Amino acid sequence: MASSQRARVALGITAVAILGADVLTKQLAVSALEGREPVRLLGGAVYLPLLRNSGAAFSLGQSYTFIFPLLTLFAVGWIGSKAMEAIGRNPEAAAKIQTAMVLSVAFAEAIAIYAFAISIIIKFT
């Protein structure tokens, strides 16, 4: 199996694993928290309530929530595609390109996490 094909398979397996973990944790949160008072942790320093976001950050796009994961999926897929093209053109640079690709995908996901954290801070202050 060629290096670029192995990288694609690894990327696909990783994406499916992350999606599965995301769906599983959401199901666990709903089953454990729905219809209950918030779960108190660390002596009341942290509470786990069940919250449903009706849109993206700051509840933007309430009727178009399906678009945001598609945009993220497109961005991450585009980064991966361009990395695979670069590896195909220059296989000797595969390690450097894959490192840059992983960092780019991590930064793309980090933006979503930062937006989530900021929206939580704004909501509760």
Q: What's the pLDDT tens digit per position in 95-114?
A: 888 888 888 777 777 776 76
Mean pLDDT of 55-61: 64
For the entire predicted model, the pTM comes to 0.43
Rounded to whole angstroms, the Cα distance separating 103 from 9 reads 18
Residue with tokens 């709903």: 30
Domains in the chain with CATH codes: 3-123 (1.20.20.10)
Q: What's the pLDDT tens digit per position in 64-73?
A: 666 767 777 7
Tokens representing residue 114 in the block: 């930062």
5-14, 15-24, 54-63: range with lowest mean pLDDT: 54-63
